[in-house]
Structure 1
Amino acid sequence: MSDSSVLRELRGDRADTPSVWFMRQAGRSLPEYRALREGTTMLDSCVLPEMAAEITVQPVRRHRVDAGIFFSDIVVPARQAGLGVEIRPGVGPVFDHPIRTAADVDALPPLGDDYEAALDPIREAVRLTVAELGTTPLIGFAGAPFTVASYMVEGGPSRDHLRTRALMRSQPEVWARLASWVAELSGRFLRAQVLAGASAVQLFDSWVGALSEDVYRSGVQRHSAAALARVADLPVPRIHFGVGAAHLLTPMVEAGATAMGVDHRLRLDQALDILPEGTPVQGNIDPAVLFTSEEARFAEARAVLEAGSRASGHVVNLGHGVAPDTDPQVLTDLVSFLHEQDAHRQGTHQA
């Protein structure tokens, strides 16, 4: 497993051929996923071990990507801890009781033995997945403290996260206690996956781009660091990824990442100018090109390979996740194209 191309790239050891996986490759766009999940809620499917394992493996089987990403959702740990939350179709995660006051934080369940026991279905799903994947590595997954806590404060999806940002400024001690709780929640979720067989982890911060660097450093960085620290003693790469977070690359890598995901808003060569020398990168094909011509898709892929060519390691990915209406054959063909490219990437870009 340690010789797999993804793990080599994440450790800063260039592999013989480009390695690729896609965020949100597990589910949504695949007809076999929709057929399997029929009649099962999203969150239920995440904690049914056989189903979660099969969904995780489906895109590896179909697309021949170089890693599986564990099928889950960023609110699964909160549900397993005992919070009332559901994913409403067309809306997203919605919490029964938003967390906005000191009393709300006081009422959060303790993360003790009950939480550990509630992670047993996750451990079993990982074990089943790893057994099915064989020599293909599994990447564990969790939501970062800022994004998960934001969902809890807002009560559901938010366009501007005003309540969360206001709480951080008006009641910083309440925010700190909430973010610390979420950091332990997510960190232990990651650790459970690794101890069950995951070979790498990704901490996903989908809303963090709404923050300035100063606010991130003062109110978020230490909590993301605490989540990543839960697996820092284990021999697995730690990928940190944020959406719209080009201005946060430095403090995010400083939070304890060993590799940085970069979204499609910043070229990888520009990211490499910002990041500490030797940092492996992941990304960052614009998901929009999945809806263009093959010529445009392959040109974008060549450009991304060239932009990442001087990195110590580069795992090809999208700059965000696979959209639900993506044609699966487009992904299969893109993976095949990437696997045929020059291993050293230099000179792959054609104007």
Structure 2
Amino acid sequence: MTTEFPPMKNDLLLRAARGEPTERAPVWVMRQAGRYLPEFRKVRESHEFFEVCRTPALATEVTAQPIRRYRGLLDGSIIFSDILVVPQALGMEVLMNPGPFFPEPLVTPSDVSKLRTEVDVNKELGYVFEAITQTRKELDGIVPLIGFCGAPWTLFSYMIEGGGSKTLQKAKTWLFKYPEESKALLKRIADVCVDFLVGQVKAGAQLLQVFDSWAGELSPYDFGVFTFPTLQHISRSVRQRLSDEGLPSVPLILFAKGANHALKQLAEEGGYDVLGIDWCIDPVEARCLVGPKITLQGNMDPNVLYGGRDAIEETVKRMSQAFRSSEGGWIANLGHGITPGVDPEDMRWFLECVHKYSSSTN
């Protein structure tokens, strides 16, 4: 049964993601529902992080908070969840203390036997699907809703490191010491991601983003051997499944942070409509690498939001000119997620500057 959702009132993000001309760049921000907002911190005073993720009413509320606060300025909403719900679905315990912590990480390939061999995403991650459906209704068509997952390499790294890491020594040891076992685990994670993303579309997600936050920690060779095949597998499999099941074809976004060396290959063979870029590559260079058919997303350094309004305005103006200087779609965003100490009014100023300077007539 297909759920009926309110008609879209703002489809700018969807059009840009499909490569269609837009009167200005649509804008949204990674982690826009989060700790920089006082209303989000208020919810967290009485609810643990994963409790918010697992409670559809709470996830809907915090997803909608920035849309309400910045009404008319944001062009997209991203469901409040976490990339680590996939390792949880595989049977691993994940805590927030305050960052992610795995009490029992995978130490050697023999530990993979502890993971679920079959993952029923409806059973394990149905709360995300419920939150997506509720949020689509709550948004009332004001903006599209983005679903997401973590990329296999990033999830693999967390599952082995047991949390965040500056060196990824343990995860990289697996790649070099157990290459075939690593590829098998990456593929297994990728298959769960495919099921999860398809389920999000069924629930009402209108775009999908894959976050490969640690892509840039690998050499170009190792990215090509271990990561690229899983990213390609996800895009191809999701598209095939959506087609086979008569579901809408939604734009696919990939944010492979730091893997700017791979932009050309990702554009030509990755299978994504949109490629997110960080602030370490100039938009003009990125456009030369990907060509005009791929939409780019990004790419202001999130720390500019601490630099005051003049710095924000000047950076947005320069960024807009760079993205608009050549043919191809652009979705304005930061080059990574917004950080907790940002003043919400400086975020508002960023959005207002994007509206001012990203017009196709500027």
Q: TM-score range by the shorter chain?
A: over 0.9
- Whether the 8 Å contact between 2:90 and 2:119 is mirrored in structure 1 is no
Aligned to 1:245: 259
Q: Distance in 2 between matches of 1:52 and 1:311?
A: 37
272-281 vs 323-332, which moves further:
272-281
For residue 330 of structure 2, what is the amino acid of its counterpart?
H
Report the 3-state secondary structure (helix = DSSP H, G, I; strand = E; otherwise coil) of the residue aligned with 2:328: coil
Equivalent residue, structure 2, for 1:131: 137
Does the alignment pair 1:324 with 2:333?
no
CA–CA distance in structure 2, aligned partners of residues 331 and 152 of structure 1? 33
Q: Report the residue type matching 2:265 in the other structure.
A: P
- Which residue in the other structure is 2:198 paired with? 191
| Corresponding residue of 1:201 | 208
Matches within 5 A, 1:42-53: 42-53=49-60
Give CA deviations for 1:113-167 in whole Å, capped at 9, x if unaligned: 3x33122211110011111112210011110000000011111111011111121
The alpha carbon displacement at 1:285 in A equals 1.2
Q: Among 34, 39, 45, which residue is 1:32 paired with?
A: 39
Structure-2 separation of matches of 1:143 and 1:28: 20
Aligned mate of 1:216, from 219, 223, 227? 223
Shift of 1:110: 2.0
% identical aligned pairs: 36
SS state at 1:19 partner: coil
Paired residue type of 1:54:
E
Residues 88 and 94, structure 2, Cα contact 8 Å, conserved in 1: yes
Alignment gaps of 5+ in structure 1:
none
Q: C-alpha displacement at 1:342, in angstroms?
A: 5.4
1:118 aligns with 2:118: no
Unaligned runs of 5+ in 2: 1-7, 243-248
Separation (CA, whole Å) in 2 of partners of 1:70 and 1:126 = 7
Q: Cα distance 1:160–1:99, how it changes in 2: closer, same or farther (>3 A)?
A: same
Distance 1:252 1:145 in 2: 16
Q: Residues 164-218 of structure 1, C-alpha deviation per residue, up to 9 Å, x if partnerless?
A: 1121111111101111121122222222111111110110011110111111111
Q: Write the letter of the residue equivalent to 1:243.
A: K
Matches of residues 1-351 of structure 1 in structure 2 within 5 Å? 1=8, 4-64=11-71, 65-89=74-98, 92-113=99-120, 115-135=121-141, 136-233=143-240, 234=242, 235-253=249-267, 254-309=269-324, 310-341=326-357, 343-344=359-360, 348=362
- What is the TM-score when the length of structure 1 is the normalising length? 0.93
Q: CA offset at residue 7 of structure 1?
A: 0.8
Q: Is the 8 A contact 2:56 2:128 kept in 1?
A: yes
The RMSD of aligned alpha carbons is 1.6
CA deviations on 1:254-312 (whole Å, 9 max, x unpaired) are 33211100101111111011114311100111111101121111111111111111242
